[in-house]
Amino acid sequence: MVATAATSAFFSVISPSASSDSKNKKLGSGSTNLGDIKSKLSASSRSLQVKANAQAPPKINGTAVTAPVEGFKKEDVVISPPPRTFINQLPDWSMLLAAITTIFLAAEKQWMMLDWKPRRSDMLIDPFGIGRIVQDGLVFRQNFSIRSYEIGADRTASIETLMNHLQETAINHCRGAGLLGDGFGVTPEMCKKNLIWVVTRMQVVVDRYPTWGDIVQVDTWVSASGKNGMRRDWLVSDSKTGEILTRASSVWVMMNKLTRRLSKIPEEVRGEIEPYFMNSDPVVAEDSRKLVKLDDSVAEYVHKGLTSAPLPILETHELSSMTLEYRRECGRDSVLQSLTAVSDYGAGNLENFGEIECQHLLRLEEGPEILRGRTQWRPKYAKSFGNAGQIPAESA
């Protein structure tokens, strides 16, 4: 139907009666029939030209002509569609270019989101993807998931796991701030002067141990401690509820790694680290009680190695706090002895009923002391409350 209508607009349609009459004509009258056809074609051509001229003016070399051109008659100009070539079959280049530009801009935006280009000082993303620096670039924050191999029989994280989290965030803080030189937490100026950090005192308070599958958030920051020291604090919380789980505070000084002697903080190093110091109080109140020096006559338990708490205490109690004071370094092949004295810390105190306190000392087998410490232990389960006030006797 559409084809028929389009054809009828260009050519005259011969009626059926005319067709039947023409069949009765003789071949000798063919010239007459051709003349009729020519006259009809001429008439249709003139009607086509009128329609084309009404729709659009003729063009010569791409320029519209408003007046007849000499040598041409207006009736002789016939408009025909442009020939189909490779060029006019190509897509719209402007649309294709716009699509390519959009894809390029989207890819560049995605790359900028992945690239480490901080836009705000309070939300610096470290380039290693293991944490972030918050609060005006002074606090480092990192999350940890409690794995199955980091828990004990009661499905809670061990104290070793928590201490590993503290160490890991401290090192990552230095690396994220761009202060990591050749060594753990050693700045470039410290490397030049053969200086390293050593911890002299540490306090840890555990309010609750996370369980298997929990995600803990560890925040850490540094502050000045006296003229030649640095304090590092940690705050461990439940990432979902915000509940505080563990608080820890430590004091660090510098030591020359060649002479093994303590050193003052050089001004070059101070200039590197002071911009990252936070003016804040320790998260753990300092335990000012003196740490006693144990010997064989006072200690109730003497073990070879790092075992510092009797097994019966470990079975019924969990560590709630500890204070450690480092006196001397020891080597990888050093043989140590652990001395422990136990006291009934909660006796006569309903608030701390059932708690146990231990005094500790680590020493080299030859005699020099390495560390003094104090630990406090609370009952693990409520069912142990009935006999928690009694110190468990060590089994034979």
> Does residue 266 share a domain with residue 139?
yes
219 falls within a domain: yes
Q: Are residues 279 and 310 in the same domain?
A: no
Residue 200 has pLDDT above 90, yes or no: yes
Do both 267 and 318 map to the same domain?
no
Examine the domain organization and report whether 295 and 269 are in the same domain: no
Q: What is the pLDDT of residues 270-314, one digit of tens each?
A: 999 999 999 999 999 988 899 999 999 999 999 888 888 888 898
Please tell me which residue, 181 or 340, carries the higher pLDDT value.
Answer: 340
208 part of a folded domain: yes
Q: What is the structure's pLDDT at 85?
A: 63
Residue 78 falls within a domain, yes or no?
no
273 and 292 part of one domain: no
Query: What is the extent of the structural domain holding 339?
Result: 287-382
In a domain, 192, yes or no: yes
If asked whether residues 300 and 230 sit together in one domain, one would say no
In terms of domains, do 294 and 378 share one?
yes
134 within a domain of the structure (yes/no): yes
Residue 58 domain flag:
no
Give the chain's domain count. Answer: 2
Number of C-beta neighbours around residue 296 at 10 A: 8
* Among candidate residues 238, 268, 283, the one where a domain is terminated: 283
Based on the domain organization, do 298 and 244 belong to the same domain?
no
- Of 253, 283, 313, the residue at which a domain comes to its end is 283
> Is the domain of 143 the same as that of 248?
yes
Express each pLDDT in 133-175 by its tens digit: 898 889 999 999 999 999 988 899 999 999 999 999 999 998 8
Report which listed range, 33-42, 48-57, 78-87, 297-306, is most confident: 297-306
Mean pLDDT of 113-142: 65
In a domain, 22, yes or no: no
**How far apart (Å, rounded) are the C-alpha atoms in residues 149 and 169?**
20
Residues forming a β-bridge with 363: 337, 369
From CA 11, how far away is CA 8, in angstroms rounded?
A: 5
| Averaged confidence pLDDT in the chain | 76
Q: Are residues 247 and 314 in the same domain?
A: no
Rg (CA), the chain: 46
Assess whether 174 and 237 both reside in one domain. yes
Question: Residue 199 belongs to a domain with what CATH number?
Answer: 3.10.129.10
| Together in a domain, 375 and 354 | yes
Question: Which of 254, 283, 312 represents a domain boundary (last residue)?
Answer: 283
Share of the chain above pLDDT 90, in %: 44
